[in-house]
A and B are shown apart, each in its own frame.
Chain A
């Protein structure tokens, strides 16, 4: 079992470009969560998805951010028109059950220049 796979590991984008972050959950896990870690801050919840459904997006900024978890393929976190403040580490976690133990990926480190 390859664990939670995130790619790319590092992503550099210019201001105004789009960033796409991918997450493949562990085999058998149908619950996916995205968290953001800003420098000197803790991890903050962004969004919780199951296949083809957004369950809780209360942590997502209202504009420019979107997430999906299609029937086939990885979960995608999309950030449009990136700004410097979007620079952070973005982590994906998956679990086999709601409120089960979480397994985290290695993260994608986004740098906006």
Chain B
């Protein structure tokens, strides 16, 4: 059974800091991995999608990497801003016939002005 872990559960950093959010998964047989952002009381916004054959994806100040063999992904946020404060979730899609996402519990990020 796939398990996705995100540690720590919460993180507080000063504005301008570069930071790394970690995600680990137990079963390396994944089809893709997706990072989402969730603001309080809101839905999920997709940030980056990495296919299993890819090593990383970039969008603006965000860069996500994937190491399937070690079961790890990282989301790098450059020059953090207060507007980046949110919960960041990673989710994996398995290979095979099952296409449901397995989510981590998320990392709640607070960027202090």
Contact status A42-B43, CB under 8 Å? no
When chains A and B are docked, how far (Å) is the Cα of A86 from the Cα of B34?
A: 27
Contact of B100 among A56, A103, A109 (CB under 8 A): A56
Contacts of B100 in A (CB 8 A): 33, 45, 48, 56, 58-59
Chain A interface helix/strand/loop/mixed? strand
Instruction: Answer whether residue B7 sits at the interface, using C-beta atoms and an 8 A cutoff.
Output: no
When chains A and B are docked, how far (Å) is the Cα of A58 from the Cα of B98?
A: 10
Within B68-94, the residues touching A (CB, 8 Å) are 89, 91, 93
Q: Mark A44-59, 1 if CB is under 8 A from B, else 0.
A: 1100100000001011
Contact status B106-A99, CB under 8 Å? no
Instruction: Answer whether residue B20 sits at the interface, using C-beta atoms and an 8 A cutoff.
Output: no
When chains A and B are docked, how far (Å) is the Cα of A77 from the Cα of B31?
A: 27
Distance of B22 from chain A, by nearest CB (Å)? 15
Q: Mark A1-39, 1 if CB is under 8 A from B, else 0.
A: 000001000000000000000000000000101010000
Contact status B103-A56, CB under 8 Å? no
Contact of A106 among B43, B102, B103, B106 (CB under 8 A): B43
CB within 8 Å for A99 and B46 given contacts A33-B101, A104-B36? no
Contacts of A48 in B (CB 8 A): 99-100
Instruction: Answer whether residue B105 sits at the interface, using C-beta atoms and an 8 A cutoff.
Output: yes
Instruction: Answer whether residue B32 sits at the interface, using C-beta atoms and an 8 A cutoff.
Output: yes
Instruction: Answer whether residue B66 sits at the interface, using C-beta atoms and an 8 A cutoff.
Output: no
Among the interface residues A59, A93, A99, A101, which one has the most CB atoms of the partner chain B within 10 A? A99
What range describes how many residues of A lie at the interface?
Answer: 20 to 34
Contact status B105-A42, CB under 8 Å? yes
Contact status B43-A102, CB under 8 Å? no
Contact status A103-B46, CB under 8 Å? yes
Distance of B56 from chain A, by nearest CB (Å)? 16
Contact status A106-B42, CB under 8 Å? yes
Contacts of A42 in B (CB 8 A): 4, 89, 103-106
Within A39-78, the residues touching B (CB, 8 Å) are 41-45, 48, 56, 58-59
Residues on B lying within 8 angstroms of A by beta carbon are 4, 31-32, 34, 36, 41-46, 49, 89, 91, 93, 98-106
